[in-house]
Structure 1
Amino acid sequence: MMSANTGATILENKDESPKMPDKKKTKFDIVIIGAGPSGYTAGIYSSRAGYDTLILSGILPGGQLVNTTEVENYPGFEKGIMGPDLMIEMRKQTQRMGTTIIDDEVVDVDFRHKPFKVLTASEEYEGRAVIIATGANPRKLGLAGEQTFAGKGVSYCATCDGPFFRNQELIVVGGGDSAIEEATFLTKFATTVHLVHRRESLRASKIMQDRAEKNNKIKFHWNSAVIDIKGDQKMQQAVLKNIKTGEEKTLNVGGLFVAIGHEPNTKLFKNQIDLDNEGYIILKNKTHTNIEGVFAAGDVHDRNYRQAITAAGFGCMAAIDVDKYLTDSSEK
């Protein structure tokens, strides 16, 4: 489930004596931008393959998982593991493989010339290849209670957190395919799923609408918005307001799932990397971007799965693709 932890969790709990980079060293074989499951996994594979690898972790080392409490669905942990702890273990493993990790935020890149340049506020780094693993952030409602009850009823991933809400009434906010998918999935656990949408009809595809309308566990609240979230230690109520009539009502629910989309962290790469109309990186082939030598891994291009395990898988794939690219390049 989601929590209000911050990236500081990773910094405070990381290895007491991590490998510190030589301040004069700015040239690497591979530069990885981002340090979630995809970035760390790419680092592990790249370093094991013998490449001098740098990870620039950004301001939130560990990505979205540092804002997650219990993770039950990542293989290898019979009793589950806390999200920040999983990221700490990944970080330690990546460092043990020899990857240099610098907790600094990338502010600019130059992919127009080789070697590629990646700039932070304090340094300029060069890489023969780059892996973009900057992830994506869920769009939020902007309510004060949203942060208060993050990890205590408020979630942005039904697949991740649905099983924690068995036999409870739940809310899903949104009207697109993602919202319908979340609502339908949650009916496996909830007694009732209240779908709250600001319009009087869904934006989802017809097949998804038909599926939702036929599901007697889904109750629709048209022209409505969540305006407040209440509770004690956990979320217990949500206040809805009808946008047209102004009428307000309170629902007793155990959880609220926000499904109004994600924002990939790609503004930095605009005009250099091909992006779709929502900002996701367009892959030319496997993990390759339109720039030869620049690769992408994880939620920064994956709009469908958005799981820690799939992000890690993409990180592995990107590192293997980079290995082939660098090997082929050196043979020319």
Structure 2
Amino acid sequence: MYDVIVIGGGPAGATAAIYTARGNLKTLVIDKAPGTGALALTHKIANYPGVEGEWSGKELLDKMRNQAKSFGAEFIQTTITAVDVEDEVKSIYTADGTFEAKTVIVATGSKGRNRMLPGEERLLGRGISTCATCDGAFYQDKVVAVIGESEEALEEAAALTKFAREIFFIVPRAELQGVESAPELPNTHFYYRTRPVEIVGEKGVEGVKIRKASGEEELLPVDGVFIFLSGSKPGTSFLEDQVPLDEEGYMVLDEFMQSAVPGVFGAGEVRRSPVKQAVVAAADGAIAAMAVDKYINKRSKIVPQYK
């Protein structure tokens, strides 16, 4: 019997485990694929507080996980087949057996699109990014492409204008969705009714091949590609019919990351967050962990960890 089972070992889950284990709560982290999360696949990170220099996402995650382990958290890699979290004792069924806990923190992040572009999987984190706020500074005075058709894609392109010398904005539809009129962005070329065909490069991005409405194909030489196509969904399908989810599958949580089901919490990209950043996910994990401590110890309020 664990005090808490954390499902997911990314920045939200690993941080939650640091706090729960350090708070003397028996903690188990279940992570299906530790090397395939969004942060783990990020090639360079230079803006995580307190971590100077450039680190790979995997290096940063390893530091988080090792810190959690140093406080006594256990980590296992296995696949969850089912859960039963409505009762007082939460049961997590996996390929390696059943684990039980008083509480559960869901930190499974979001799933990528079902269909990736040719070259995307190979170059993800090596010139392909899904966060201009995170990685834009790495493209100072370089040429980049933005692929998307949403307001989010437009906002990310606007953020990139602070850094990139030139931007190719590839929009598969005739217009941007949810945007009344696209503003003029400096050094940005819009390609409407244009589909990305392939991202070209071996060790890094060298270009993106596009197909225009006329059928003509063209190779745009770029140093980086930022992809904001629809399809990314929170990894919460295993909670259906047990924990309240909104219409897009995000967990419905209060300010303390607690769901309507007693003892079930969420953190990171399983909730609707204004921005997707490792530091935001980590903060969610810390809040969820301290809320778990309050729940298990029947405290009247959250007790922060100062020491």
TM beyond 0.5: yes
> Alpha-carbon deviations, 1:106-162, whole Å to 9, x = none?
221112212011111121111111100111134376222112322332211111111
- In structure 1, give the amino acid aligned to 2:233: E
For 2:223, the equivalent position in structure 1 comes to: 254
Q: Quote the Cα distance in structure 2 between the aligned partners of 1:294 and 1:194.
A: 44
Further displaced range: 93-102 or 295-304: 295-304
The alpha-carbon deviation at position 180 of structure 1 amounts to 0.7
For 2:52, the equivalent position in structure 1 comes to: 78
> Alpha-carbon deviations, 1:50-95, whole Å to 9, x = none?
2111111222258322212221011122212221111111111111
For 2:294, the equivalent position in structure 1 comes to: 324
Q: Does 1:237 align with 2:204?
A: no
- In structure 2, give the amino acid aligned to 1:102: I
Alignment identity in percent?
34
Taking a change above 3 Å as real, the CA distance of residues 141 and 171 of structure 1, as seen in their structure-2 partners, is: farther
- In structure 1, give the amino acid aligned to 2:155: E
Taking a change above 3 Å as real, the CA distance of residues 140 and 122 of structure 1, as seen in their structure-2 partners, is: closer
Ranges in structure 2 where 5+ consecutive residues have no aligned partner: 301-307
Kept after mapping to 2: 8 A contact 1:35/1:61: no
For 1:159, the equivalent position in structure 2 comes to: 133
Kept after mapping to 1: 8 A contact 2:167/2:188: yes
User: Which residue among 93, 99, 103 is the counterpart of 2:73?
Assistant: 99
Taking a change above 3 Å as real, the CA distance of residues 98 and 106 of structure 1, as seen in their structure-2 partners, is: same
For 2:238, the equivalent position in structure 1 comes to: 268
Q: Quote the Cα distance in structure 2 between the aligned partners of 1:301 and 1:310.
A: 11
For 1:137, the equivalent position in structure 2 comes to: 111
The alpha-carbon deviation at position 234 of structure 1 amounts to 2.4
Within 5 A, what are the aligned runs for 1:35-46? 35-46=9-20
Q: TM-score, normalised by structure 1?
A: 0.85
Q: Quote the Cα distance in structure 2 between the aligned partners of 1:166 and 1:268.
A: 41
Q: Quote the Cα distance in structure 2 between the aligned partners of 1:232 and 1:306.
A: 28
Taking a change above 3 Å as real, the CA distance of residues 219 and 270 of structure 1, as seen in their structure-2 partners, is: same
Within 5 A, what are the aligned runs for 1:129-208? 129-139=103-113, 142-206=116-180
SS of residue paired to 1:70: coil
Q: Quote the Cα distance in structure 2 between the aligned partners of 1:232 and 1:68.
A: 17
For 1:55, the equivalent position in structure 2 comes to: 29
Q: Quote the Cα distance in structure 1 between the aligned partners of 2:202 and 2:209.
A: 15
Kept after mapping to 1: 8 A contact 2:42/2:57: yes
> Alpha-carbon deviations, 1:240-275, whole Å to 9, x = none?
112x32122221211111001422111111121222
- In structure 2, give the amino acid aligned to 1:134: T
The alpha-carbon deviation at position 305 of structure 1 amounts to 1.6
Q: Quote the Cα distance in structure 2 between the aligned partners of 1:55 and 1:148.
A: 28
Q: TM-score, normalised by structure 2?
A: 0.91
Q: Does 1:31 align with 2:5?
A: yes
Ranges in structure 1 where 5+ consecutive residues have no aligned partner: 1-26
SS of residue paired to 1:81: coil
The alpha-carbon deviation at position 285 of structure 1 amounts to 4.0
- In structure 2, give the amino acid aligned to 1:63: G
For 1:292, the equivalent position in structure 2 comes to: 262
SS of residue paired to 1:124: strand
Taking a change above 3 Å as real, the CA distance of residues 285 and 230 of structure 1, as seen in their structure-2 partners, is: closer
Report the number of matched residues. 299
Further displaced range: 34-43 or 225-234: 225-234
Taking a change above 3 Å as real, the CA distance of residues 179 and 141 of structure 1, as seen in their structure-2 partners, is: farther
Q: Does 1:309 align with 2:283?
A: no
Further displaced range: 256-265 or 136-145: 136-145
Kept after mapping to 2: 8 A contact 1:173/1:179: yes
The alpha-carbon deviation at position 329 of structure 1 amounts to 7.8
> Alpha-carbon deviations, 1:264-293, whole Å to 9, x = none?
111111121222222211214430112111
Q: Quote the Cα distance in structure 2 between the aligned partners of 1:157 and 1:147.
A: 16
SS of residue paired to 1:65: coil
Taking a change above 3 Å as real, the CA distance of residues 140 and 153 of structure 1, as seen in their structure-2 partners, is: farther
Q: Quote the Cα distance in structure 1 between the aligned partners of 2:218 and 2:92.
A: 51
SS of residue paired to 2:276: coil
Q: Quote the Cα distance in structure 1 between the aligned partners of 2:214 and 2:241.
A: 44
Kept after mapping to 1: 8 A contact 2:142/2:164: yes
